[in-house]
């Protein structure tokens, strides 16, 4: 009996969930130390900032008090399993065929009529998709998250690390400077937060008990 979710997918899903939660909470704790965002290399004065970030409450940070050093420790500790796990998952998806078989979109799925039909189905809370593991909107969303947002978090995180710049100054230049990398890191983090909220909402609307059971046991592939 073929599993809906492979063992590697399930392990990565739960490990990545833990990492993202810890990284987000420790990240907003770090943000509280300097709540201004800039573009380019320079930037330390509020007058130079393109935006000011709110001060996040202690219950949303890790640790649940203002402690920049400890927030950084948590952030660095979980950034490595986050980055290495993503790399391993991508290698496995490409070699094992999961990406090509289940996540790659087809040309016909990009037709306006097909996209609109998928939007209407989701609006009606109809999550069925015969003959495929994921619908077009799911493929597109997972592609953006796995192929854009998560890698951007890794690379911008490296770019804003002072100890990493001497080894790869090109990475900082690629984002237009450390301050630009920090701004992009912050924006990508909140895009992931939005995905996380929508993902949880859709799980609740499409049968949370079964969805959770399948992501723990593997479920049965019905495609």
Query: Which residues are CB-contacts of 187 (< 8 A; sequence separation ≥ 6)?
Result: none
Rounded mean pLDDT of 133-160?
A: 93
Rounded mean pLDDT of 207-221?
A: 80
Per-residue pLDDT tens over the stretch 69-122: 999 999 999 999 999 999 999 999 999 988 898 889 899 989 999 899 888 988
pLDDT of residue 169: 87
Q: What residue ranges do the domains of the chain occupy?
A: 7-217
Per-residue pLDDT tens over the stretch 18-61: 999 999 999 999 999 999 999 987 777 888 999 999 999 999 99
pLDDT of residue 131: 67
b/e burial code for range 58-94 (CB count within 10 A of at least 16 → b) = eeebbeeeebeeebeebbeebbeebbebbeebbebbe
- CA-based nearest residue to 18, from 64, 85, 99: 85
As a whole number of angstroms, the distance between CA 192 and CA 185 comes to 11
pLDDT of residue 81: 96
Axis crossing angle, helix 112-123 with helix 136-144, rounded to the nearest 10 = 90
Rounded mean pLDDT of 120-148?
A: 85
As a whole number of angstroms, the distance between CA 179 and CA 41 comes to 5
Q: Is the pTM of this model over 0.85?
A: yes
Domain covering 7-217 assigned CATH 1.20.950.20 in the classification: yes
Q: Is 83 in contact with 89 (CB distance < 8 Å)?
A: no
- Least confident among 11-15, 26-30, 40-44, 157-161: 40-44
**126 vs 91, residue with greater confidence:** 91
pLDDT of residue 223: 61
Query: Which band of pLDDT confidence, cut at 50, 70 and 90, is reported for residue 212?
Result: confident
Radius of gyration of the chain (CA): 20
């Amino acid at each position: 009996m073929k599993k809906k979710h492979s063992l590697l997918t399930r392990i990565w899903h739960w490990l990545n969930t833990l990492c993202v939660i810890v990284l987000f909470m420790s990240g907003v704790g770090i943000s509280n130390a300097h709540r201004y965002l800039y573009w380019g290399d320079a930037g330390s004065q509020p007058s130079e900032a393109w935006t000011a970030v709110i001060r996040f409450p202690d219950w949303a940070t890790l640790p649940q008090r203002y402690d920049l050093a400890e927030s950084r420790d948590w952030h660095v500790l979980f950034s490595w399993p986050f980055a290495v796990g993503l790399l391993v998952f991508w290698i496995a998806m490409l070699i094992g065929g999961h990406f090509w078989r289940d996540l790659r979109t087809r040309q016909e799925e990009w037709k306006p009529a097909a996209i609109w039909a998928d939007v209407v189905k989701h609006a009606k809370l109809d999550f069925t998709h015969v003959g495929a593991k994921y619908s077009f909107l799911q493929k597109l969303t997972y592609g953006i998250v796995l192929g854009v947002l998560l890698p951007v978090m890794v690379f911008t995180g490296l770019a804003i690390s002072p100890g990493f710049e001497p080894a790869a100054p090109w990475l900082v230049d690629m984002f237009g400077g450390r301050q630009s990398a920090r701004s992009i890191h912050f924006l990508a983090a909140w895009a992931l937060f939005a995905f996380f909220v929508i993902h949880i909402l859709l799980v609740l609307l499409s049968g949370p008990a079964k969805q959770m059971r399948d992501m723990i046991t593997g479920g049965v592939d019905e495609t």
